[in-house]
Structure 1
Amino acid sequence: MSLTFKTLGRGRRVAAGSLIAVTALTLSACQNGTDSASKSSSAAAPATSSANGAPSAGGSAQSAGNGARPSGVAKPSAGSAGVPNASKANPSGMTDPDRCTAANMSLHMGRTDIGAGNIRVPLVFTNKGKKACSLRGFPGVSLIQRDGSSVGTPASREGGAGGSVRLQPGQSAHAVLHTVNEGVSDIPCWKNSQIVFVYPPGSKESMTTGSSGLRVCGGTFTVTTVESGVPS
């Protein structure tokens, strides 16, 4: 009986020892796994921040807070608010090979039409080339001074886009500039302009002509799409 009791007691002690060892190994593995996961998360954090555009170490956060311009963002040029950008002025303008360009056209202001508080002036494009060309869409138009400084903001679009206008050599098309008389609105008038700065529809090259002192009032300055001919 005594021998059997001692053998069983020893077996229980061995089993208990084994259970303790297994538990210790399990706890160690869990702890190591937690540490590894924590280290992996810490290592991955900078990459995630960088991908999201957050400042990296080394003072970038302070630079961003001081209004630093992100890389790849162009610095606005002086007076750009009042002059249309060539790439944005005529997104609906035609890009056909036979499109009329600034190089093969002349530009001038037509006769001013004043009535019922409105002022409308045709902006006339004439094909001065030796072959036919086409125009379609809105020109980009702004008013400037002789020193190049802008007057107000570029003309907004008025009316529908219209169709294509085919110009034989010597033929003309026009778009209409529109503003209102002083006193029609409480919005102050702009100062008098001296030059009309124009991107023909679809063109990245500009043209200019005298504005005849055109003065925009009432905050109204629009341009229509090009139409065939010249108003009488």
Structure 2
Amino acid sequence: MRKTALALMVLAAAGASWAASRHGAFKAAEEAAWMNIVSQKKGFVDYYFEIGQDGSVIVRDESKDGVTVRRGSIKAMYAKDFFREIKSSDILNAQTGTGSKMVFYKGDQLRISAYINGELRRFQAPLNRFGEAFSYAMTEARKAAEKLPPDENVAGFLSAEPLTGALRDDFMSRVGQDYEFKLVETYDLQKSKHLMAAVKQPHRLIPLESDKDIKAIADFITKHKIYGLRDLFYVKTTRGEFRFRIQYARGK
């Protein structure tokens, strides 16, 4: 009985350590990637997958049936194979960040952020453009991650998307061309580890472990008079302008 209790304590501590380590940003020296997959044929509204070089993973699967979150670790060999194929993928090593788009393409679309030689890069293209070996390695890692039990504890996720191009044009059309962002200084932004992590690594889902974390962001919005709503708001920082979004883990 004592050995069983001790084993459970070790597992709990390991899980807490993993969760805490992933509140902040990955280091540039680490191999890490996070991606969204939109699949019409499988009925996915949105499928998020994150993987680190140590095998730590996050899955957020949002479909018409609801939202499922899985977190934990898979065998390191899956991560090793995945990052080997990232480094050898032609499209991921191209100069541009957007692959060619196929008219009337009905297959999986992939939007991926990954560290390549210490540089964080972003790509978007039909999944079949990334190569068969890459697709296989990613699928195997996803299969392993989907065997993890659902995580019912996390409250939600925060992400930041650079406010550029069509996204910014749409925003300005709603607020007016005379709208001026109030700059949120880095000193103030650093007071929120979740907001800072989201800015450092755009498009990544930063776990919000509790309703208290969500309320802290709401309080930050109110204090700094930030434009937007509780779960969709806009911030100007020294790193640029961003649209922040909170996605609830249980599809609130």
| TM-score band, normalised by shorter chain | under 0.3
Q: With the length of structure 2 as denominator, give the TM-score of the two structures.
A: 0.19
Q: Which has the higher helix share?
A: 2
Larger radius of gyration: 1
- Quick check: which one's strand share is greater? 2
